[in-house]
Structure 1
Amino acid sequence: MTQTTQAPTMHALVIDRTGDPDEFHLAEVPRPLRVSDEVLVRVVAASLNPIDVKTRAGRGTAAAITGFPVVLGHDFAGIVEQVPYAAHPLQPGDRVYGMGRVPRTGGSFAELISVSSMSVARMPASLDFAHAAAVPLAALTAWGAVVDTARVHDGQRMLVHAGAGGVGHFAVQFAAYFGANVTATASARNAEFVRDLGARRVVDYTTERFEEVARDQDVVIDLIGNVKDDTGVRSLDALRPGGLVVNVPTGSWPTMGEDAEARGLRATGYSVSPDARTLAVITRLIDDGAVRVHVDRELPLADGAEASRLVEAGHVRGKIVLRVAPDPA
């Protein structure tokens, strides 16, 4: 089922170089060719993640970009156009969502994306395309940090930083679902939102020092690091002896290992894997009503620069979504 003719072009949001948000612009780029186990998906919506913003700015995964223009964007929700073989579990016309490996492959800020079938799952029946696009990277990151790495369990004391954010609002829900006693940091305007997600206590980081009011935690899910107010190092003060800190943002706390070891604490980073099997579990939780998805704003693909500025400002509740195409009939 691999195409043999010259691929036409498609509409995409690209950057021609790394730099500020205005580097994002619309362009015509070659349509991706589906190969091997890949599924070709017509994108309806995509969401913007901090890693996309960092890469656009020359950090994140920018060192792996091999040429410009490049299409960024990890998350997508859309309609299957081509599959690897006739009896494949996914079929043309299926509503799916997932995440790609950008910049190893072209991203989701485009009309089409071709990704490994191991990175694609059927969309939750209860979600529209915009909300589905907000799920994959953030939810898989939260699951990996909370469930796979911290091994969340009943009665565990867990502190989640940035509990209202993209990863944070999933991390709070997963931790609460599995019975943890969740404390989360958030601004006052997001306090009620985070409580509704399952946090037993919300610490207003603008008026309280979390390490003074959330002591003896078993685990800290650090979604900030030391890029703001030494949040990473201060997190060590919130842990019990032998406690664990899981740091997610790339490059946000270079000395984490040494800092933790000096205090007899455990520390690890975490990098997300685009695993469709885990995404299918998350899908069931969403459709069962155990987990919900919050979209702060939905913008047209052409407004990629504005979306990037919003994410960069760091006050997004949930996710920012880019509309790539109208919902199919």
Structure 2
Amino acid sequence: MQRGWKAAAMAVVLGGAGAAGAHEFTCEKRVQVKGEGQGAPQGEAPRVTKFPATLRFHYTLKNVHPKGESVANLVEDPLLARYGFGSPFPTPMAVGVGESRSATFELKLDTPEACHALAASDGRADDSFDSALRVKWDLGETQCAARVTCCEPFVDCELTCPPDDPYCAEPPAPVAPGASRNAGFFKVHEQALGQCLARGGMDLGVARVESLEQALGLLWASPGLDRNGGVRSEADARRFELAREALVATCNERLFGAREQRGRALDEALRTLRGATGDEGLERRGRELGRHNDAGLGQPLPGGFDAGRATPAHAASIAVDPLEPGRQ
């Protein structure tokens, strides 16, 4: 494992105008990911891809009052409270003119699932989390935050062995993706889509696709509108988008043998669409499966496979949305 640190910081200072004591403190928070060989690009959050991983949180609190000491009455980091570091500094804390105080905290994440659990704890269903430090004093308040992004499951997560575990076996190196095509390809290549459907219908949870017209409907229809022009709910639109990516992934598997690269992601998507895991994670699974479908775009199609010519106008004219209004 390469050693090193990559870091990114995002600081936000909130303060009112007017009173002389309104800007007595500034704070900075940085988060670094141990075990990565290169730093994150300027302005981007560090990305956790190798596990086990250690996050190092670094805090700096500075008194910027021009004449006297400042006293912090409250210093808290709610996201890290469950890990025993909700209060990086003891309060009340007096800081002299021009002086600063620093603190650090390290948090170990053993698996990608642990990283995504932390990402979900900030209340947003995405792959990133923002850990914010809040500082209050008598006449004002300031906040600073740092963002970390977790790897995409089954895409760029890498599990490595701890150096003190002689029984751990390193996973095999990732295999270069085989050929794949995305929704844009299948929506205009009727012959390729027909060859996929010749191997059987698809139960996509929100609909069962049996015909070329239904498959094209899923590829051409608007996720936000049903066949009668009614507006789908946000959850239904997400399920529609996930069903579209699942259709494409299934065709990639059937036609190009792409199972080993994206099989687990497709299985997770189908379980979600069939109601086994609820509606949580729809957007993340759709994005994840879309990345799998895009992964092999630069690879040539298998020898002897004839996708036929692109017929966008005809394909759009025969497309029938298989999701009946109210069925999702």
TM-score, length of structure 1 as denominator length: 0.22
Larger radius of gyration: 2
Higher strand proportion: 1
TM-score, length of structure 2 as denominator length: 0.23
